[in-house]
Amino acid sequence: MNEPVRPDDMRISDADRERVQDQLKRAHDAGQLDLHEFDDRAKAVWESRTRGQLAEVTADLPNLPEPRRAGERRPVFADTPGGLTMRILTIVFTSIAAVNLTIWAIVSLTVGSMVHPWWLYVALPPAAVLSILYTAGIGRPPRDR
């Protein structure tokens, strides 16, 4: 009977090698590898035949985030608990402000004249708080270097 192949013994493709070489380039750009070490590891990547060999090349390197592709927008909120909280608060605030604006518009149209814009008293304080929190960095993704 054939025994299953261990994951570390699985063969790799050129796309796998390119992905690891990109990780090495990001590590070099971040100052974690000098040029000589980058060159040695890049050679080892292209000589690798299995997943285990590729893993050895990058075992001591942290996982750096993938760079954004050209034309890709920067996310508004980070993928952290703070980012999730800010995303939820923004959705709740926007919903409440939209409902109050709609009610104000319906009342103004029904009465036939412009009613005092009371909905701003509901919308502006939470908007100011959310803006201050976001400006302070709560829930904001890290800036690109």
Provide the mean pLDDT of the chain: 87
Out of 13-17, 68-72, 97-101, 140-144, give the one with best mean pLDDT: 97-101
Burial class of residue 23 (count of CB atoms within 10 Å of its CB; 0-12, 13-18, 19+):
buried
Q: What is the pTM of this model?
A: 0.51
* 131/137 Cα distance (integer angstroms): 10
Region 116-125: mean pLDDT is 92
Give the per-residue pLDDT at 89: 93
Q: Tell me the per-residue pLDDT of 60-73, one tens digit each, with 9 for 90 and over.
A: 887 766 666 666 77
CB 51 within 8 A of CB 6: no
CB 28 within 8 A of CB 35: yes
Q: Which helix (H) or strand (E) holds 44?
A: helix 35-47
Break the chain into its structural domains and give their ranges. 8-58, 81-135
Least confident of 55-59, 63-67, 123-127, 129-133: 63-67
Please give the share of the chain, as a percent, with pLDDT higher than 90: 43
